[in-house]
Structure 1
Amino acid sequence: MGKRFPDCSFAHNFSCVDRGRILIFWNNATVGVDTLDMDDQLLHASIKCLISGRQFLLTCIYGLHSIQHRKPLWDKLKMVGQQQINLPWIILGDFNSVLTPDEKHGGLLVTNREIRDLSDCVAFLELYDTQHVGCFYTWSNNTVHSKIDRVMINSVWMQHGLDIYTEFLPPGCISDHSLSITTVFRENRRRNIPFKFYNMWAAHNLF
């Protein structure tokens, strides 16, 4: 990391899990990062944009592969949310769980037991998916397709009216997961404007 990105600092949760699961790095000239908490499924940090002075919380997620092993993740998120609920907050990464039955195509049907813990956590923390474009399903093994990767924000982020949107690229580039690119605080971004056609135009003699 030091040789490839000499102007960057980095943080990880490698001390919490043997193989390592989460790594973040940032440009010291534009971003300040203070790591607040970590375990084997998340890394939680305070982020400050040194250009705009804006500050927010970031939690990177890498959920374990079973319902039982993911339960501590949802409990930790609820605890973090209760402690720092008044700050804008982004939660992103591989949740390893869908939120609704329609977020999986193929394979076994989604049960209420599979989605209950994540659904309860999202409702408790008042989280919302960011505006996004690109792939709906973010993971695939060519038989099963599911949306297990997401970028979410809390209600405080929305109340502050902060700009954020995400693009999910097709899986298969460097992983069987979609690469997600989230942009924040972009000024003067042209928002999608819906196309409208009025039938009365077709009746005009110059149409």
Structure 2
Amino acid sequence: MEIIRTKVGFDNMFTVDCSGRSGGLALLWKKELNLTIVNHSRNFIDATINSVSSSPLWRYTGFYGCPKRHRHAESWDLLKQLSLNNSLPWILMGDFNDFLSHDENLGGATHPNRLIQGFWEAVNFSGLFDLTFNGYQFTWDKGIGTTNWVREKLDRILVNGRWLDRFGYARVESFEALVSDHLPLAVWPFPATRIRTNRKFKFENCWLKEASVET
């Protein structure tokens, strides 16, 4: 990861080691951000962020859901736990290994309703919303071009209402991946507040017809 950090031009990095050939997380950021690692485990990295100009804090969580079906409930419980006692604008990104609807799975075995329901309930309990993104929606596939082609939306972005209030003009996209079976997702968190411009006051004659207007 240190080699990758240098190649892509980031200044700082925090990693969670893999276990054998599975797992492993990394969070990279540039020096323009004041980023503090709050907590981490094999399944998440939790941080608070603001700019050098001392803008208000917001929260970022990189998330990796348990891939094995019999352990999905552990991911839901973790998501709920992370949502507790949070008052910050919050965004989570990562591979959740779960679906919010059957439309997010094409090919292969049908995903059990209980798993879709369980993930939906965890997202709802946490006060989060699925943030839509531009680009191809199925972020993972295998067997492309064959009769066994499977496409799934495993990677996604979840945000709470405070994050939407602050970054209402965020740009979100998926991109083609050349050497991975997962598509990368990118977010540009543009503030929701529009820049005010000075406008000349204009008086409308029709206002005189209103009974509440004094002349």
- Rate the CA distance shift 1:113–1:187 in 2: closer, same or farther, 3 A: closer
Q: Does residue 140 of structure 1 match 2:141?
A: yes
In 1, Cα distance between equivalents of 2:50 and 2:36: 9
Deviation of 1:52 after TM superposition, in Å, equals 6.2
> Displaced runs of 4+ in structure 1, greater than 3 A?
16-20, 159-163, 186-189
Aligned-residue Cα RMSD (Å) equals 2.4
- Rate the CA distance shift 1:124–1:7 in 2: closer, same or farther, 3 A: closer
Match of 1:98 in 2: 99
Equivalent positions of 1:1-207 (< 5 A) are 1=2, 4=6, 8-14=11-17, 17-19=19-21, 20-28=23-31, 30-51=32-53, 53-84=55-86, 86-141=87-142, 142=144, 143-170=149-176, 172-185=177-190
TM-score of the superposed pair, with normalisation by structure 1: 0.79
In 1, Cα distance between equivalents of 2:12 and 2:29: 6
1:134 counterpart SS class: coil
Q: How many residues align?
A: 185
Q: Which moved more, 1:147-156 or 1:67-76?
A: 67-76
Deviation of 1:126 after TM superposition, in Å, equals 2.1
* Structure 1: 5+ residue stretches without partners: 190-207
Q: Judge conservation of contact 1:106–1:144 (CA < 8 Å) in 2.
A: yes
- Rate the CA distance shift 1:47–1:179 in 2: closer, same or farther, 3 A: same
Q: Judge conservation of contact 2:106–2:152 (CA < 8 Å) in 1.
A: yes
Identity, % of aligned positions: 26
1:32-82 deviations in Å (ceiling 9; x for gaps): 111111111111111112246132111101222112323222212212211
- Rate the CA distance shift 1:157–1:187 in 2: closer, same or farther, 3 A: closer
In 2, Cα distance between equivalents of 1:125 and 1:7: 31
1:115 counterpart SS class: helix
Q: Judge conservation of contact 1:42–1:73 (CA < 8 Å) in 2.
A: no
In 2, Cα distance between equivalents of 1:17 and 1:83: 30
Q: Judge conservation of contact 2:166–2:192 (CA < 8 Å) in 1.
A: no
**Structure showing greater Rg:** 2
TM-score of the superposed pair, with normalisation by structure 2: 0.76
Q: Judge conservation of contact 1:151–1:166 (CA < 8 Å) in 2.
A: no
In 2, Cα distance between equivalents of 1:41 and 1:187: 30
